[in-house]
Amino acid sequence: MDEKLILIADDDRDLVTALSIRLRSAGYEVVGAYDGEETFRVAQERKPDLIILDIRMPAGGGFSSIDKLKHSLGTMKTPVIFLTAFDDDEVRDQALSLGCVGYFRKPFNETEFMEAIRKALGET
């Protein structure tokens, strides 16, 4: 069976690298993107099975990115999990209203995070 592809979009390159190591060891294929434009481009090119999306990023943050992704044929059905350091209820409510399947706050509980990924990929 092919490995599922996860796109990690975050301007914190260190975190993208660390998460890539963790997710690859859990058996996933991983690709990274570091700003909004790159996220959209990579998502269109690679058609990931899941996108882990930061909210504050240069060249288009998570909210405008999810909007673009949800309105593009190739990615409109791709599940999105927000991973952000924001803790405001307003940000959280807005994120949940935009059609994401999960919302995690940094630093996050890894067990719950991996569980959410498996669920988003239909593995549980």
Partner 1 sequence: MQLKGAIYLGDDREAALALEKALRDEGLPLAIASGDLEGMRKAAEMDIDVVIWDRDNNEPGEPIPVRQIRGVGLNRQPVVALVRQGDVGSALASLAEGASEFLFKSPIQENPAPRLIQAVDSRQRDMRLAWCSKAIEDTSGQLKAIVGTLKDPAYIVSPDYLILYMNRAAQEIFGEGLWGGVCYRVFYDREEPCGVCVSDKGPARWRSVLKNGKSYRFVSTLIRTGGGEAEKLAVGTDITLDEEVRKIHKTFISNVSHDLRTPLAAIDQYLNIMLEGQAGEMNADQKKYLEVIKRSSFRLHNLIENLIDANNILSGRFKLRMQVTGVKEILDIVLPLLRAQAREKGLALQVTVSDDLPPLYCDSMRIAQVIANVVGNSVKFTERGSVHLRAGFMPGDQARIILSVEDPGIGIPKEDLGKIFDLFYRVEQDQVYVEEGAGLGLSISRDIVRAHGGTLWAESVEGRGSAFHFTLPTRDVAAPSG
Per CB under 8 A, residues contacting partner 1 are 12, 14-15, 18-19, 21-22, 25, 56, 83-89, 105-110
Nearer to partner 1, 2 or 88 (CB): 88
Q: What angle do CA 117, 120, 85 make, to 5 degrees?
A: 55
3-class DSSP state for residue 37?
helix
DSSP lists the bridge partners of residue 53 as: 9, 82
Rg (CA), the chain: 13
Q: Min. distance of Cβ 90 from partner 1 in angstroms? A: 9
Q: Min. distance of Cβ 27 from partner 1 in angstroms? A: 13
Nearer to partner 1, 41 or 106 (CB): 106
Q: Min. distance of Cβ 71 from partner 1 in angstroms? A: 27
Give the type of residue at 115: E
The two three-digit tokens of residue 27, written as one number = 């058996």
Q: Min. distance of Cβ 43 from partner 1 in angstroms? A: 22
Nearer to partner 1, 72 or 109 (CB): 109
Residues 6+ apart with CB under 8 A from 56: 11, 62, 84, 85, 86
Nearer to partner 1, 75 or 84 (CB): 84
